Amino acid sequence: MSTDALKGKKLGGMNVKEDLFAKNKILYSMFEPRLEYAWDNGIAINTYLSGLKEGKILASVCTKCKRIMIPVRTFCELCWRPTDDTVEVTDTGTVQTFSIARINFDASRLKPGEKPTIPAVIAIDGASEKMGILHILDEVKQKDLKIGMRVKAVWKPAKERKGDITDIRYFKPIK
């Protein structure tokens, strides 16, 4: 028969019910940070985004491991050496996996009638096998979603593109 190291121990961790908290029955203070950042895109991603602005998906080549990598990078993280070249790949690919999001980034729920987002990992044709990016799918019925489906980028019109990952609005199935 085993003993119980926790038996009879009074454990800390007093649970505060949400309504007590919300009604201010216990004391707390609030802080809403206003933090603003300006993130430099860096050398590699700048090249990548400039490509998107022109409606192209660019990739980096490492002649040592022979990988064609997206997004563009200045060094190969596997070989730990500079990449050798930047090449254009296609804007088509294969869905490696997908999900159907009924929540927003802060865990709040979609409003009634709001369309779920369909995030996917898409392996881009012309890049190394399984070399994917995170993006979203659209113009597809949920019942038709499947791993392995072929998709193509739907771009914003050239004059609306500003060098951003959202210059590709989404990927849609290739009929």
Partner 1 sequence: MKPRRVAIIGAGITKFVRRAQETGKELAWQASKMALDSCGMEFDRIESVTMGTAPDAFDGVHMKGEYLSDGSGGKNKSYMRNFVGGGTGVFAPIHGYFHVASGMFDTCLVVTSEKMSCAYPHPQGAFLTIFDHTTEQALKPTLIWIFALEMNRYMTVNGITKRDIAAVSVQNKNNALDHPAAQVAEKLTVEDVLNSEELVWPVHRLDISPASDGACALVLASEHVARQYTDKPVFIDGAGWNLDTAYWATRDLLYPRYVEKAARIAYDMAGIRNPMKDIDLAEPYDPFNYKMLHHLEGLLLAPRGQAARLFKEGFYARDGGGIPACPSGGALGVGNPIAATGCMKVAELFWQLRGEAGKRQIKGNPRTGVAQAWGDLMQVGTVIVCRNY
By the criterion CB under 8 A, which residues form the site for partner 1? Answer: 2-7, 9, 11-16, 18, 21, 26, 30-31, 33, 37, 39, 41, 45, 48-49, 69-71, 77-78, 96-108, 117, 119-121, 130-136, 147, 164-166
Shortest CB 79 distance to partner 1, Å:
12
> Residue 110 or 174: which CB sits closer to partner 1?
110
Shortest CB 159 distance to partner 1, Å:
19
Task: Answer for the pair 91, 60: CB distance below 8 angstroms, yes or no.
Answer: no
> Residue 12 or 112: which CB sits closer to partner 1?
12
For residue 121 the two structure tokens come to 């990992």
Shortest CB 6 distance to partner 1, Å:
5
